[in-house]
Structure 1
Amino acid sequence: MLKKQYLKTRPTCKVTFRISKDAAGSARNIYLVGEFNDWDAQATPMTPLKNGEFTTLLELDTSQSEYQFRYLYDGNHWENDWEADGYALNGVDGENSIVRV
């Protein structure tokens, strides 16, 4: 799930990425990986919550209208955000999620 908050003082959108307990399943750790962190699989760990969800907050520059991303579960399983703003073929194994800012 994506939640957006646009800042009035600068060209930035705060985006909260959240994975539900059902979507997280038995994952022990989940990383947010995408264009905003140069597809670095270790750059953006998500925080596990007591209720079984995972979340993280990023500030994205609105000069780029959209960013592709995916979630990496336990270092070996890729998932999309099925409530993303869109999807794009990634040329590797299917699609990437898109967040539009």
Structure 2
Amino acid sequence: MAITKNYLKTRPVCKVTFTVAEPDAEKVSVVGDFNNWKPTKKYELKKLKNGNFKGTIDLEKDQSYQFRYLIDGSYKNEEQADSFAWNDFAGAENGVLEL
């Protein structure tokens, strides 16, 4: 799994690209406080021929976001997140993006 950040010079936005290696998965989405934890089509990653899932979303920079991957209905953290934060509701840690 990997995260790539590309900050735009003309707007206060960071294009965040998520790459998830889950070749046996059918569906992978990114959910977090930026989308109210809802796996909508906009945050669904596309499956590539090599079995990885990849997608880019625009997020406001100078912000911190909690997130997780939703892989075929199960939550999974990004190992390369900037940090982790405990979530009492989920009883688990969420990954944190620092933009």
Is the TM-score greater than 0.5?
A: yes
Identity of aligned residues (%): 41
CA separation in 2, counterparts of 1:93 and 1:71? 16
RMSD (Å), alpha carbons: 1.2
Indicate whether 1:55 and 2:61 are aligned.
no
Distance apart, 1:25 and its partner CA: 4.6
CA separation in 1, counterparts of 2:57 and 2:23? 23
Distance apart, 1:38 and its partner CA: 1.2
Indicate whether 1:82 and 2:79 are aligned.
yes
| Matched residue, 1:68 | 66
Gaps of 5+ in 1: none
Distance apart, 1:89 and its partner CA: 0.3
Residues 17 and 46 of structure 1, relative CA distance in 2, 3 Å threshold:
same
TM-score (norm 1): 0.88
CA separation in 1, counterparts of 2:16 and 2:29? 15
| Matched residue, 2:37 | 39
Gaps of 5+ in 2: none
What are the superposed Cα offsets for residues 42-94 of structure 1, whole Å, 9 maximum, x if unpaired?
Answer: 3411100100100110111114x21000011112x110000111100011231
